[in-house]
Amino acid sequence: MPANQRTLQRPVTRAGPGLHLGEEARVTLLPAPPGAGILFARTDLPGSPEIPATEAYAVAGSRHQRRTMLRREEAEVHTVEHLLSAFYGLGVTNARVEIDRAELPGLDGSAQEWVRAIREAGEEDQGVPARHFVLPEAVALTESGVHLAALPQDGEGLTVSYTLDYGTPELGSQFFTARLTPEIYAEQIAPARTFCLSREADALRAAGLGRGANTANTLVIGPSGAPLDNAFRFPDEPVRHKVLDLIGDLALLGVDLRAHVIAIRSGHDTNGALVRRISRLLREREIAGAVEHESRLDIEDIMRILPHRYPFLLVDRVIERVGLHRAVGLKNVTIGDAFFQGHFPTKPIMPGVLQVEALAQLCGVLLMPKLKAEKSLAYLLSLDQCRFRRTVVPGDQLRLEVVTQKLKTRTAQCRGTASVASDVACEATMRFMIVG
């Protein structure tokens, strides 16, 4: 996979009905700055709420939904796995996806049309190292006959091996394995379409699924094992589509995963469980300093950058800083923090305003190269879309992440998220005035 982060060169639009909800949707893929990741925006909702494509916003327990969903507050985006799979397979790390309905278009039921859209838009090397994670140890789970494991492997890249065997005569037993490259993905995986058995179709529709599905965008496999009113693109197209889905779910890690993932009968729910376990391991390794990033700062470095001091310095360590684009920091919350003396003596809770302040301070670290070069300071100007989702108490470690959304001569806008483990505690959009 590419060593540097990549985005699109220009916007591109696709439209069509969603496979499950059946509503006509229009999607525009747009370029995004380094460190932004993949971000969905619901343009049909007030304020065009944004949903990052990360495991923190994935809806868990989607076994009966047959799709991957993201949710933030009241905004949802359904069936994101095919587009995320195409982004990951082609090595696109940063993009904004604007959508005017709840579900992405199903197109032809595969990722092939998304691959064509991305190539139509063109890809741009952003000159910033991509985030990658070399899996240090095995991660495995077994659940109701489903087996899924991620294993360390020699060399770079991601290898995916999948065994499809549901004990059904229509499908039989199928196996596919590949070490992922953009070429292998585009030619051998992306064209594989979603499928169901003909005897399942009525039950799926009764459950409110498959409203936009037909034999043109879904392989409806009959008793003979052949698709109804269609033909296979590959003899083993169903198992290739399961690999496509798995890659889309792994994309929620937000990193180039270097591992061998082996799956037997896995679906979106167990894929998501594996992603959550790998995410926890990734965060632990980041905190321990075992994941390579462009820049790390300890407390002495931070104190040379920020004017804040105890008890108001709220960033203990910076574990990643990528140019002026993205930074990740840590705040260790302890009972010794001065604010717990009054908030509250019998039930200590970190004030939400100080969680926002911690994010703002990390923005100061992120923007410092510009501020130092121009001999300027950044003053917090406004807050927008600020939400508090859980309490933060002594013993928690607050993971702070900020991304620059806009950067002009005299203003800057950043989006920040503070999390404890995999739970979002606070998020806000912050605007700063840059004063010389």
Residue 360 burial (CB count, 10 A): 22
**d(C-alpha 263, C-alpha 112), whole Å:** 23
CA distances from 129 to 5, 9, 371 (A): 6, 18, 23
Q: Is 343 considered catalytic here?
A: yes
Three-class secondary structure of residue 182 per DSSP? helix
Preceding amide of 344 cis, omega within 30: yes
**d(C-alpha 257, C-alpha 254), whole Å:** 9
What are the tokens at 15? 């439209």
Pairing of strands 219-221, 195-197: parallel
Closest by CA position to 229, among listed 212, 241, 217: 217
239: left (phi over 0), alpha (psi -120 to 50) or beta: alpha
Q: Is the dihedral of CA 286, 292, 296, 299 positive or negative?
A: positive
Residue owning tokens 């409110």:
208
Catalytic residue among 20, 78, 241, 268: 268
Q: Is 268 considered catalytic here?
A: yes
Write down the H helix ranges in 96-218.
Answer: 112-121, 182-184, 198-206
Residue 426 burial (CB count, 10 A): 25
**d(C-alpha 75, C-alpha 63), whole Å:** 21
Return the H-helix or E-strand segment holding 365.
Answer: helix 352-373
Residues with catalytic annotation?
268, 343
